[in-house]
A = this chain, B = another copy of it.
Amino acid sequence: MSSKPLDYENLNENVKKCQYAVRGELYLRASELQKEGKKIIFTNVGNPHALGQKPLTFPRQVVALCQAPFLLDDPNVGLVFPADAIARAKHYLSITSGGLGAYSDSRGIPGIRKEVAEFIERRDGYPSDPELIFLTDGASKGIMQILNTIIRGAGDGILVPVPQYPLYSATISLFGGTLVPYYLEETANWGLDVIDLRQSVAQARFKGITVRAMVIINPGNPTGQCLSEANLKEILRFCYQENLVLLGDEVYQQNIYQDERPFISARKVLMDMGPPISKEIQLVSFHTVSKGYWGECGQRGGYFEMTNISPKSVEEIYKVTSISLSPNVPAQIFMGLMVNPPKPGDISYERFVRESKGILESLRKRAHIMTDGFNSCRNVVCNFTEGAMYSFPQIRLPPKAIEAAKKAGKVPDVFYCLKLLEATGISTVPGSGFGQKEGVFHLRTTILPAEEDMAAIMSSFKNFNDAFMEQYEDHKGYSRM
């Protein structure tokens, strides 16, 4: 029989082209080792609950009650659930169209989209329209949908920061577009230089690419930097001049570990700039319940908000959304709770604040322990994690290590990360999965291991790294920075 439609050689080429390193070779090897009985520390993906972070109690109580609405009539319900959780569950059930088991509006439950709009207004100081907010099964799904709406073919370019979160490179491949990289500057704390941006666009144009959109990840993934207001203004001016949609990946907006540069949304800066820019630039902003101090990754909840997008285009996006009927309803409720948490005076307020503060303060400590740990290692330099959930140290691999990697048929940083994994059980992602300048190597790890395990993990990393460097260094020079 001739080759079959789902044989490898006959698959959609775009499917074959896309790469997603966060669950790539390193992750697959780690899963194998785990099956063989080795203890693996999965720091490849920002998955806080998998590393022991406890869920916030109040939102879980509310969603549990929504899943079991018959409990609301149970005389004993008050013995196991607080009154404010019961009231909130009743409220959410009253605005669904049949509880958690019914498809909602494809854009999400109107009442929850209103809560999101109110949250954005409180955050930014400008009104937000619930009709321009769509709830999604996690931020990734929303980003994929918007990219699918923009990309018409290989001639369409999307500006993506490098290093980047590989959702972008994978999705652009999958939809047959072209990734146009712009480099973040490691020596300037992963800052973004508009002159570089202009060069990237000029080069792409020269190749016949129409650059149509620009992605920013703020706070940065994998790089952890927080963009300043001045930098965001420059970016918006640039988008205005170049007629680009700005995609603002702001999923880490609650994860800030320094006080100099608090999170500021692209939308607020845009509105602050006033007309004509504030009326012209098309912006889509993304958020999630998976990050922050919530970390509810497994629930798959997110939203996107559209600014300056015409009703006719919003309608098209709505139409495509409706093909898969509705985002999952439980995660919509988590989103409602995230943007509208318990208030002072509520029974659950103090507990909620204690739990969320505890998580954020611990993350801040862990960000410091990790950066300091990496910087104490031979041939490793690391910028501080200002925000998000990752540390992205540069590993200065000696020429002999690069040679050894070549012999083993591996990219040098993959070679290093595999050795690290085998020696210590620490599962990271090589910098090549995110993109990096030629000849420079990194790895990404989350800052999520439990605070009490952190010292041991960093010491295990240091032992491995320093021995690795000892083995491969010729004691004459480093690989270039």
Contacts and interface: CB of A to CB of B under 8 A. Distances in A.
Interface of A: 1-2, 4-8, 10-13, 15-16, 18-20, 22-23, 45, 47-53, 55, 57, 60-61, 63-65, 67-71, 74, 76-77, 79-80, 96-104, 106, 137-138, 140-141, 144, 148-152, 167, 170-171, 174, 212-213, 243-245, 276, 280, 282, 284, 295-300, 308-310, 312-313, 316, 319-320, 322-331
Contact of A64 (B8, B48, B65, B167): B65
A448 to B, nearest CB: 11
Nearest to A326: B298
Contacts of A7: 310, 313
A144 B137 CA distance: 15
A114 B64 CA distance: 26
Given A22-B322, A174-B323, 5 more contacts: A5-B244, A50-B103, A55-B100, A80-B80, A298-B329
Contacts of A45: 103, 325
Contact of A55 (B4, B101, B167, B308): B101
Contacts of A106: 23
A320 B11 CA distance: 12
Contacts of A324: 137-138, 140-141, 144
Contacts of A319: 15, 18-20, 23
Given A7-B310, A80-B80, A298-B329, A102 B65 contact: no
B18 A98 contact: no
Contact of A49 (B99, B148, B300): B99
5 contacts: A47-B103, A96-B298, A102-B298, A298-B329, A330-B330
Given A96-B298, A329-B299, A149 B322 contact: no
B57 A70 contact: yes
Given A243-B2, A313-B7, A328-B331, A170 B323 contact: yes
A385 B103 CA distance: 23
Contacts of A23: 106, 319, 322, 325
Top 10 A-B pairs, shortest CB-CB distance = A298-B329, A49-B98, A64-B68, A49-B101, A50-B98, A300-B328, A23-B322, A50-B102, A49-B102, A64-B67
